[in-house]
Amino acid sequence: MSAAASFFSRRWVRVAVTAVVVVAILLLPLVLPEFANQTVARIGVFAVAVLGLNVVMGYTGQVSLGQIFFLGFGAYITAYGVDNDWNIVLVFALSILLPGLVGLVIALAAARLGGLAIAMVTIALPIVGVPLAKRLSEFTGGSQGTSARFTDAPAWTGLYDDQFQLYLVILIGGIVFLLTRNLVRGKYGRAFAIVKENEAVAASMGVSPYRYKVLAFTVASLIGGASGFLYMVVVQYTSPETMSFGHSIQLLAAMVIGGAGSIVGSLLGGAYYVLAPQLTNLVDPNLTAVLQGALLLLVLFVLPGGLASLPARLRRLRRRPTHATSTPETKRERSSA
């Protein structure tokens, strides 16, 4: 182990680094300008959405093309509850639990399927969700969508609205990430990994693929609902377009580029989802889709594990010259020494 690795493996060093990071995050909304706060908050929203997709695809290996549906569903529940003056804690709970319940019902039916079959089931979610949202105009505002302004900063905080919204995203998103990290690093995460590797082997080891596929899909739905609540915190408006199939594909691309099966990859995926369209629009608004597709292909060829795998890739490249210079002559010299 190198001296640097040994140093950072010490408990007090890890605690100190963690404390510095936490303090920096807490100070971030106070030092950034309004536009930057709004951008970071949107990144947090979609990082949570990508995290939910990562649970079911990255960690469990199941194909899901409908995660955006749960974000839209959670956003609509939030908007409806706020517009009808429901208690905000109740609204928050319902925006998570109702998508989770829908996800559970779908998973109970779809988890016995595999491959393209389960992909077809999940594709149907945004395809059905968009016209359904338009038809239920009494609850959703129809094609025009609906808005809900409920995250103005309280006077006693002394914060601006953008700062208060970013703090809410940091708080709720941080809790979601922490809980998910504990889930995938515990016994459930090990079961997810076995199911992802080989369902037949998992069954022979007493790990029920069906049970853990249902669990992963339900957890992803709950996280999707949480991202929908955060979406309304930041954007304060939703429409049927929010849960369109095109956005579902963009969410999938964000997970792949960030890194499947990675907590850090989910954060990077959220950044890609928000920043990539802005950057490609600066280059040429008419080539946005082409440029994003090219970027996806580039990452897949250069970093198949996503951006989260870049540090490991760099470490391997640094070690490679050492092994390349180890010739038979040098090996004999070392053995004789």
| DSSP code for 10 | S
Q: Under 8 Å CB-to-CB from 184, ≥6 apart: which residues?
A: 55, 59, 192, 263
71 falls within a domain: yes
Per-residue model confidence (pLDDT) at position 324: 47
Q: Under 8 Å CB-to-CB from 166, ≥6 apart: which residues?
A: 28, 29, 37, 38, 40, 41, 44
Assign 116 to helix, strand or coil: helix
Show pLDDT as tens, one digit a residue, over the chain (337 residues): 455 556 556 677 777 877 888 888 888 888 889 999 999 999 999 999 999 999 999 999 888 888 999 999 999 999 999 999 999 999 999 999 999 999 999 988 887 776 667 778 888 899 999 999 999 999 999 999 999 989 899 999 889 999 999 999 999 999 999 999 999 999 999 999 999 888 888 888 888 888 999 999 999 999 999 999 999 999 999 999 999 988 999 999 999 999 998 999 999 999 999 999 888 888 877 878 888 888 888 888 888 888 888 888 887 877 765 544 445 554 454 444 4
From CA 284, how far away is CA 272, in angstroms rounded? 17
From CA 110, how far away is CA 100, in angstroms rounded? 15
What range does the domain containing 46 cover?
12-245
| Predicted structure pTM score | 0.88
**Residues 214 and 104: beta-carbon distance below 8 Å:** yes
285 falls within a domain: no
272 falls within a domain: no
6 falls within a domain: no
111 falls within a domain: yes
**Residues 210 and 111: beta-carbon distance below 8 Å:** yes
**Residues 51 and 180: beta-carbon distance below 8 Å:** yes
**Residues 275 and 269: beta-carbon distance below 8 Å:** no
Q: Which amino acid, 303?
A: L
277 falls within a domain: no
Dihedral pair phi/psi, residue 159, rounded to 5°: -100, 155
| DSSP code for 147 | E
163 falls within a domain: yes
From CA 320, how far away is CA 73, in angstroms rounded? 49
**Residues 283 and 291: beta-carbon distance below 8 Å:** yes
45 falls within a domain: yes
Assign 146 to helix, strand or coil: strand
Structural domain tally of the chain?
1
